[in-house]
A = this chain, B = another copy of it.
Amino acid sequence: MTVRVGVIGAGMIGQDHIRRLTEVITGAEVVAVTDIDADRAAEVAARVGARAVATGADLIGQPDVDAVLVTSWGPTHAEHVLAAIAAGKPVFCEKPLATEAADCLRIVEAEQAAGRRLVQVGFMRRYDSGYRELKSILDAGGIGAPLMVHCAHRNPSVPESYHSAMAAQDTAVHEIDVLRWLLDDEIVAVQVLAPRRTRHAHAELQDPQIMLFETASGIRIDLEVFVNCQWGYDIQCETVGETGLARLPEPARATVRSAGTTRTAVPQDWRERFVTAFDVEFQEWIDAVAAGEPTGPSAWDGYAATVITDATVEALRSGRTVGVDMKDRPAFYAGGAR
């Protein structure tokens, strides 16, 4: 069975996912595309033999759209996801699920009312083979009970439009999700340290930041977010447990020895670093949709990420430790499966 996908948002990421659904993975077909820019929608749709439609609502309503992919501007996510739920159609929403925690909650409630999982949020780290190996080591007791996690998320540089809150909202949000999943634990408090700023950031930006998270069971996580590090896209994760530590693999790269040094290349952007994770994420989503319902990061995970992100932004602003004010997890979302 081929899953026929309608895509809301034909910007850079939308186009990349359309290419992925069309050329890379199997079992999917893009049948409809919409975008705030109708010309762009038409052009992108034409490339893959799909049709352009006027609005997200139109697209969701098309009878041959089996599943919806939302890659539009963040503030519009909630509206489209809620419409898809109302139509009873599976929907994959790029992060964030919604920019406001209240909207995330509305989605969580709508999905529960619908009685089955329809929503998956685009946290692709869970599909990276390195994080999966780490999780299998932890789950097998390979390091004993986890006590601490040391992480870094580094980008070579960011545009002028990147502001200090985005370090949490756009950057750390990936670690926030993947660590909740890796540790099977909830983040309950956060503090942000502001080191001396790099001269390679614009004047308004606090870069780097050190985020300190505490989980319900008392695990302490430190996360360096450094988005103008100059040297590359560099993701580190070291989990320390009662009897051992396990570290995320470095990307496999050839070793070159010449002119007095031994060296390997560092990836320069997230596409290069996580391209396979994206492919796996979409293949598994399509397979799960074809089989019944999505099994990846849930609406609840999307809600949790937004609440924790909000607390992180407040922690940076206030300089204080901020508790995460999260609702109790509904039974509907219990277990890893939801």
Contacts and interface: CB of A to CB of B under 8 A. Distances in A.
Interface stretch (A8-16, A240-248, A326-334): A240-248
A51 interface: no
Given A260-B268, A262-B263, A254 B247 contact: yes
Interface stretch (A23-31, A67-75, A106-114): A23-31
B249 A252 contact: yes
A261 B258 contact: no
Interface in A226-254: 226, 229-232, 234, 240, 242-254
A46 interface: no
A257 B229 CA distance: 10
Interface string A195-211: 11111100000001010
A230 to B, nearest CB: 5
A263 B220 CA distance: 24
How many identical subunits does the complex contain?
4
Interface in A166-224: 193, 195-200, 208, 210, 212, 214, 217-220, 222, 224
Contact of A254 (B130, B193, B251): B130
A242 B26 contact: no
A105 interface: no
Interface in A25-63: 25-27
Given A224-B240, A230-B258, A231-B258, 10 more contacts: A23-B26, A23-B27, A133-B253, A133-B254, A147-B197, A150-B150, A208-B240, A226-B240, A231-B244, A249-B254
Interface of A: 22-27, 129-130, 133-134, 137, 142-145, 147-148, 150, 152, 193, 195-200, 208, 210, 212, 214, 217-220, 222, 224, 226, 229-232, 234, 240, 242-266, 268, 276, 283
Minimum-distance CB pairs A-B, first 5 = A244-B258, A196-B218, A263-B263, A249-B252, A195-B220
